[in-house]
């Protein structure tokens, strides 16, 4: 029985060991890769340059161009840029402090059919709780499944460690 406890303990430590959380590169390289998404010609091809989301975190769409932006390629290309950045660095912050989630919500709000249509300001709500209303993002994904960590912790407690 002691042998089994020993191996369970070793396996639990192996699963929770933070040394396995190794980055693929240094932080500067990762941020640089994320910033290249804004200049990627294969993503932004049809959208007028002045309407594009930039690294500052602003989406500058004049009121007369809202329908063109929301019903044309700009909205799709902007979503692709956000996905590109999210795939490289999910907790990316724009120069103005906005997150990818904030930018997605600004697109959702700005192209929606409410009184907020045309409001692409990503900084309108920073610091306000429950501002996203019914908009739901995917959230952050944990590297280790939380259920596995809880199970292993409970098993260790039950076996006397």
Query: Which pLDDT score is estimated for 59?
Result: 87
Section 98-125 average pLDDT: 86
The CA distance from 80 to 76, in Å, is 6
Report yes or no on 104 lying in a domain: yes
The tens digit of pLDDT for each residue in 1-37 reads 566 666 666 776 666 655 555 555 566 666 777 677 7
Report yes or no on 62 lying in a domain: yes
Q: CA 154, 158, 12, 9: dihedral to nearest 10 degrees?
A: 170
Section 54-81 average pLDDT: 89
Report yes or no on 13 lying in a domain: no
| Entry pTM | 0.61
Report yes or no on 4 lying in a domain: no
The tens digit of pLDDT for each residue in 112-157 reads 888 888 888 888 765 444 444 554 455 555 555 666 677 777 777 7
Q: Which carries the bigger pLDDT value, residue 90 or residue 145?
A: 90
Residue 36 lies in domain: 24-136
The CA distance from 158 to 161, in Å, is 8
Q: Report the number of distinct structural domains present in the chain.
A: 1
């Amino acid at each position: 029985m002691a042998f089994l406890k020993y191996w369970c303990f070793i396996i639990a430590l192996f699963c929770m060991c933070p040394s396995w959380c190794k980055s693929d590169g240094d932080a500067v390289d990762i941020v640089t890769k994320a910033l290249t998404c804004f200049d990627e010609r294969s993503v932004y091809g049809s959208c007028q340059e002045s309407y594009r989301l930039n690294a500052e975190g602003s989406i500058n769409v004049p009121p007369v161009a809202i329908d063109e932006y929301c019903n044309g390629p700009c909205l799709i290309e902007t979503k692709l840029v956000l996905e590109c950045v999210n795939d490289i660095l999910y907790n990316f912050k724009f120069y103005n402090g906005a997150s990818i989630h904030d930018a997605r919500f600004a697109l959702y709000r700005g192209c929606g059919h409410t009184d907020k249509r045309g409001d692409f300001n990503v900084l309108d709500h920073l610091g306000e709780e429950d501002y996203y209303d019914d908009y739901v993002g995917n959230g952050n994904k944990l590297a280790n499944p939380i259920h596995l960590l809880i199970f292993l912790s409970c098993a260790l407690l039950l076996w006397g460690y």
